[in-house]
Amino acid sequence: MTRLQDWHEVRLRDVPASPWKNGGGTTQALVCWPNSSEWVFRMSVARIDSDGPFSEFKGVDRWFAVLNGAGVTLAFPNHKIDLGPLDPVIQFSGDTPCDCSLTAGPTLDFNLMVQGATANMARINRLTFAQKFKAKTTLAVFVVEEGGHFVLNQQRQELNKMSLYWVTLEQDVQIEFHDMHVLLIQMECSP
């Protein structure tokens, strides 16, 4: 049976920030699997301090969510979207040019990037959520805010704020969120 002890935990506070080449912010890479140079998936938290273009990632699927701050406007070639810390996650291609403008000051944002795998990321904000996941699925949970509780296979667990938990399931599991604010990521790959 999968237990929380089988999951990898990465606390944001323990990950050093790397400054961007353009000086517009920093990135904290939470996980790059299988390694930092040739990854299938990469999850990170970025602090955006000034307006500017996102880096191009050819052949990469991207998901983006604002964690805190007033928010951003993302400008793509054919449309713009305003995003704040309670809005749904957006997905876009790393091939697509994207310019980012801050709404009112810096933001902290979560990024999922995937190549060669199928993935999805969703924000679950203070809702009751329950779902069964099949073995061999890679699951990740990023805890945005304190409060609520997590249930794994009918066992209540405590999760730390601003921490990422991830695992590739060895068997089917049932997970539940009760009154939590999290990002839930699921991927079909084989770490």
Percent of the chain scoring above 90 in pLDDT: 86
Q: Is the pTM of this model over 0.85?
A: yes
Q: What is the mean pLDDT of residues 128-148?
A: 95
5 confidence band (pLDDT: 50, 70, 90): confident
| Residues 134, 2: Cα–Cα separation, whole Å | 12
Domain ranges of the chain: 10-114, 118-188
> What does the pLDDT read at residue 191?
46
pLDDT higher than threshold 60 for residue 144: yes
For residue 1, is pLDDT > 80? no
Distance CA 131, CA 138 (A): 14
The residues, any chain, with a CB within 8 Å of residue 53's CB and separated by 6 or more, are: 97, 98, 99, 100
Q: Which CATH number fits domain 10-114: 2.60.120.10, 3.40.50.2000, 3.40.50.1980, 3.90.480.20?
A: 2.60.120.10
According to the CATH classification, is domain 118-188 in 3.30.420.10?
no
